[in-house]
Structure 1
Amino acid sequence: MNTSLYQALVLNEWRLRSRRVSSLVILLAVVAVSWLMVLDPSTGAAMMVTNKQRLAYDSQTLAFGTTLIASLLFGLAGFYLARGRSQEDLRCGTAGVLGATPVANAQLLGARWLGAFGFLLSLGAAVMLTIWVLQGVRGEGPLQPLPYLQMLFLGLAPGLMLCASLAVLADAWAPLMGKRGDALYWVLWIVQFAFVPAFLGEGAIRLSGWQVFDINGVSPLLVSLGQLLDVRSVQVGGGPFDPTLPVLHMPEGLWSRELVALRLGAMLLALLPLVPAVLAFHRYAPDRVKPRSAAQRGRVMQALQWLSGPLLRPFTRALGALMFAGARLPGVPGRWLADVGLVLLSQPLLALAMLGCAVAAVFVPVEVLPGVMAAALGAWGVAVADVSSRDLQSGTLALAGAAPGGALERGLRQAGAALGLGIIVAAPALLRWLVVAPLQAVACLAGLLCLSAAAALLGRLTQGPRTFLALFLFGLYLNLQNTGQAVLDMLGLSGAAQPASAAAYTVAGVLALVALQVLPRRA
């Protein structure tokens, strides 16, 4: 393949991803979170605090803090933004053409990796430019581009490279092309935070070679900052400070030889998933990308199905009865009940998880209730992520639009199905919170309304479930961090919610429902 043709292939991969509405949504979300974490010092809290002293909002501090925060969100959302190309090719009919082209597997996947990484890096650069604007608004010093560029290419880029590599692997290996790959990546993203304390140790103030495996760079960057400031801990993302203490300024010299070597090593490790991707690439062969029959599945899957059979069989029968009741119930209530049954019937394991958590919420102590609800609502969010994009993905959009109620009712009904299912799952906890912490119950209801409407709206706008899924899972992670910020307590799980934050989520949910009514008229 000549150079110009390969460049065109890479540029096409970049364009296909950059033209998605989901890219704009994620970019705005990263910018909003980054700006939100740069707290106004007049409130008594700052973005970076150590020993009750805040760090001045100069270029070094803003570049460090916002990149560390952006790496967390990009580390999750970047994978969902970069992947999905194989499914699009299969849906649009271009898979056969690509499979027959005289391009080697390594070349095709290499072009996809370059396009995905270039796309994610361009989003990171866009976020960096918005932080320059933020420094002009709230900064405390002249703009210095070099610290931002260092954090972009050495701080953020290795994590983006890993996202692109894993996205290419998920699209190249058929078993990871669907929700299974999405769920496994979410688990991987969560597991990495379990290793950060081990990398940091007990107030570690020196770098270790093991930190090369922290590809997102949280632990090596924090250790290097601790060495630079001669402190044992730094709070990033918002914390109270003592205004009577002098303001600290981050000195130069963050990027030592050891830190640069660790980040370059992390870049090399981020490329390793490309090796199994090339070896396992399905090349769009029909026998490798179509769902396998029960006889073709592995023994492990057969064993899991056999073990879960006693639970799933009566559960699916009950869901079948629910669908029958929806067919017999006239009007909007019957169609709504059918939508709820369809969400549960299409994902019985998630439905069982939600049921188990809801039952557990009746018996566990009140102090444990937020953790149980986090698991229940996490399963709920994954289940309703495709509540409105399912019609397009399964090729039944025109049929659904011709059903009673039409497209206008369908959007509201899908949001209502997600909301109704969420209320049913959260009902035991809501009843208990109404007695001991009514504000938490109100905040949870407001969050469910907002998230249900967002799932339907983002699915309609982006024609897929992954944008909502990435934002929801990241928001759920922030919700469990007990940051003390009411705006981040979207489901009332951390107890930081305030009446104003609950009202804001309610208004946002109502506006999303209005948008669902407006969009079909524009289509």
Structure 2
Amino acid sequence: MNATLRATAAILRADLLQRVRTPRFWIVVFALGAFMWWCLPPADADYLTVSVGEHVRGRYSSAWIGLSMALIYSPLLSLAGFYLVRGTVARDLETRTWQLLVATTMSRHAYLVAKWLSHLAVFAATLLVGLGVALALQLLRAEDLHIDLVELVKPVLLITLPALALTAALAVWFDLVPWLRRSAGNVLFFVVFIVLISVGVSQANRAPGAPPPFPGDFQGLVSAEYDVTHRWPAARSALEQITRDRAGLAAKAQSAGTQRAETAHEDATPGLSVGTQPLEGTPPVLAEWSHWNVRASLLAGRAFWLALAFVLLLSATPFLDRFAARAGTASVARPRGASLRWLDSVFDRLLAPLQRGTAGTLLAAELRLTLRSRRWWWWPGMAIAGIVQLAAPDQGLVAGIIAAWLLCMDVFSRLVLREHETRTAALVFTAAGMRSTLLWTRIAMATGLACAVVLPAVLRLAVQHPSAAVATLVVAMSVALWALALGAVFRNPRPFELCLLVAGYISVQGALVLDTLAAPMTTLAWHAASIPVAVAVLLSAWRQGLAARA
């Protein structure tokens, strides 16, 4: 037992030291912690982040601040945290460190638990920073100056911790399964996360007297909603007062002959809102929330998800050696795209005009290397996206554009990292002028590919909506340049992949981030303004990366 604990502690310590020694880690942790500043707006702000009904929230006591932080960080860190922590197990397998570890007396269980605890330690660091910001905001907002550390931390432990434990276990699994270690796994987790959110929210039952669901959603939002909406008398009193005020205003309007009176019938309990809710000039209604009386059923539900995370983690033990044996050998045994060798002749003909100078030859080589390594399913997938861009209605057209960029996501995110991942920088950059030539070649490669995959949409929009066609090309260049910039800054593809997945999802839901049809000139202006910033970030990070490698 002592040997197992020492081995677990040693791996945990090594992982943490490797993480905390990089400035990028602390930038992300403090950025997520500082996010609490936006999550706890003052009473005169024009929005709310956590509320009951439309305008009711608790005063900023330790209990309400802790609950708000738990409700916001549970989904936020469940998503962003996965991309932050994953990669340590895959690194051990691909660098053959696992072969050294397995030769010791360390058990497989201890290794997996150490990696899981390492992920949780990263989450804990983020939560501690967030708690510090939240505590400072309680004093700054000065709505309730009594500090109660137990009430502050209690919601974080009960709501957020089980969700993060399950996320950490999934991060271990996604690092183990070979085909989930790269961009495909990042996309799949995002889809799984959205599905779990939807399924969890669907459990909410706002009928009066409805019992809370068991075990509830893994993020704890539905379980907490029951306590806030069914068991908070101050909020119910405030909501009833709002209803009476509205009924009185409607009666006055009726007596004045301006409109019909509307009688409010509340057949359901108002729900809990987590996210940005604009107030539109209406001040929030503040209610007292100084203590959270935790139900036994809630404790059982959160314990269920925590136990499920641990069981899921340990269930990977029988597969550890099998997955480790496939690390770093699959690409050698069967190169990606091996079944598409007939494309070489096509590439030779199409790329021949480029091969007349050093830059052109390098660009042709980059294109051949990128397209040659595409899986067989990439080609029909891109063909389907092109057909959708040509024939679908406007909403489908936007989805087709975003789908084409998502199919190229791993190219955009990893293009600037090729020498870092293959450890060939010392060889590649020995050629004269290669440092600047290679960078500009990859900029041309990424922006050209981003524009080429949406060419069907551009041709269609050029006839129907010229401004949208121009906006699509500008957004394509912005996406490619930000991919290179974020890859160079973080030396990791996951930050950009997460950003693109989130941007694509909210754009399909109606946001203007990547939607070039709803308000093309607005979208064009924002992306055009961001392109110089992306180029400046890319150039700076590229130089610093070269200096570090030198």
- Structures share a fold, TM > 0.5? yes
Quote the Cα distance in structure 1 between the aligned partners of 2:34 and 2:69: 11
- For 2:229, the aligned partner's letter is G
CA drift at 1:350: 3.6
CA drift at 1:247: 1.5
* Match among 292, 308, 311 for residue 272 of structure 1: 311
- For 1:335, the aligned partner's letter is L
CA drift at 1:202: 6.9
Quote the Cα distance in structure 1 between the aligned partners of 2:46 and 2:110: 54
CA change 1:500–1:403 in 2 (3 A) is: same
1:232 aligns with 2:259: no
Q: How does 1:443-454 map to 2 (within 5 A)?
A: 447-454=475-482
Query: Alpha carbon RMSD of aligned pairs, Å?
Result: 3.9
Contact 1:57 1:135 in 2 (8 A): no
- For 2:424, the aligned partner's letter is T
CA drift at 1:394: 2.1
- Give the 3-state SS of the residue equivalent to 2:274 in structure 1: strand
Quote the Cα distance in structure 1 between the aligned partners of 2:46 and 2:396: 31
CA drift at 1:279: 1.1
Identity in percent? 23
Quote the Cα distance in structure 2 between the aligned partners of 1:93 and 1:288: 8
CA drift at 1:278: 0.8
CA change 1:132–1:176 in 2 (3 A) is: same
* Match among 398, 403, 417 for residue 370 of structure 1: 398
CA change 1:55–1:20 in 2 (3 A) is: same
User: Which residue of structure 1 lines up, in the alignment, with residue 91 of structure 2?
Assistant: 88
CA change 1:264–1:44 in 2 (3 A) is: same
Contact 2:34 2:130 in 1 (8 A): no
User: Which residue of structure 1 lines up, in the alignment, with residue 535 of structure 2?
Assistant: 510
Quote the Cα distance in structure 2 between the aligned partners of 1:449 and 1:136: 45
User: Which residue of structure 2 lines up, in the alignment, with residue 215 of structure 1?
Assistant: 218
User: Which residue of structure 2 lines up, in the alignment, with residue 107 of structure 1?
Assistant: 110
User: Which residue of structure 1 lines up, in the alignment, with residue 415 of structure 2?
Assistant: 387
- For 1:513, the aligned partner's letter is L
CA change 1:511–1:136 in 2 (3 A) is: farther
Equivalent residues, number: 506
Quote the Cα distance in structure 1 between the aligned partners of 2:370 and 2:288: 51
1:79 aligns with 2:82: yes
Q: How does 1:390-405 map to 2 (within 5 A)?
A: 390-403=418-431, 405=433
User: Which residue of structure 1 lines up, in the alignment, with residue 15 of structure 2?
Assistant: 13
Deviations 1:366-425 (A, max 9, x none): 133222333222223243221122222223223332356422333343344222222222
* Match among 323, 329, 332 for residue 290 of structure 1: 329
Deviations 1:28-83 (A, max 9, x none): 55346554555676563332355432536624555444443333332223223333
CA change 1:49–1:338 in 2 (3 A) is: farther
Quote the Cα distance in structure 1 between the aligned partners of 2:42 and 2:516: 24
Contact 2:7 2:110 in 1 (8 A): no
CA change 1:434–1:104 in 2 (3 A) is: same
User: Which residue of structure 2 lines up, in the alignment, with residue 153 of structure 1?
Assistant: 157
Contact 2:389 2:401 in 1 (8 A): yes
Contact 2:486 2:538 in 1 (8 A): no
CA drift at 1:281: 0.8
Quote the Cα distance in structure 2 between the aligned partners of 1:354 and 1:134: 49
Quote the Cα distance in structure 1 between the aligned partners of 2:462 and 2:391: 16
CA drift at 1:442: 6.4
CA drift at 1:358: 2.8
* Match among 371, 377, 381 for residue 344 of structure 1: 371
User: Which residue of structure 2 lines up, in the alignment, with residue 420 of structure 1?
Assistant: 448
Quote the Cα distance in structure 1 between the aligned partners of 2:275 and 2:112: 36
Quote the Cα distance in structure 2 between the aligned partners of 1:352 and 1:63: 49
Quote the Cα distance in structure 1 between the aligned partners of 2:392 and 2:460: 11
CA change 1:255–1:396 in 2 (3 A) is: same
CA drift at 1:195: 1.0
CA drift at 1:127: 2.8
Deviations 1:198-254 (A, max 9, x none): 322577974544444x22223323343332344422332112225446513363436
Contact 2:70 2:155 in 1 (8 A): yes
User: Which residue of structure 1 lines up, in the alignment, with residue 119 of structure 2?
Assistant: 116
- For 1:343, the aligned partner's letter is T
Quote the Cα distance in structure 2 between the aligned partners of 1:20 and 1:237: 31
What is the TM-score normalised by the length of structure 2? 0.78
Contact 1:418 1:452 in 2 (8 A): yes
392-401 vs 404-413, greater mean Cα deviation: 404-413
- For 2:274, the aligned partner's letter is V
CA change 1:479–1:21 in 2 (3 A) is: farther
- Give the 3-state SS of the residue equivalent to 1:55 in structure 2: strand
1:194 aligns with 2:219: no
User: Which residue of structure 2 lines up, in the alignment, with residue 23 of structure 1?
Assistant: 25
- For 2:123, the aligned partner's letter is L
Quote the Cα distance in structure 2 between the aligned partners of 1:44 and 1:364: 38
CA drift at 1:25: 4.8
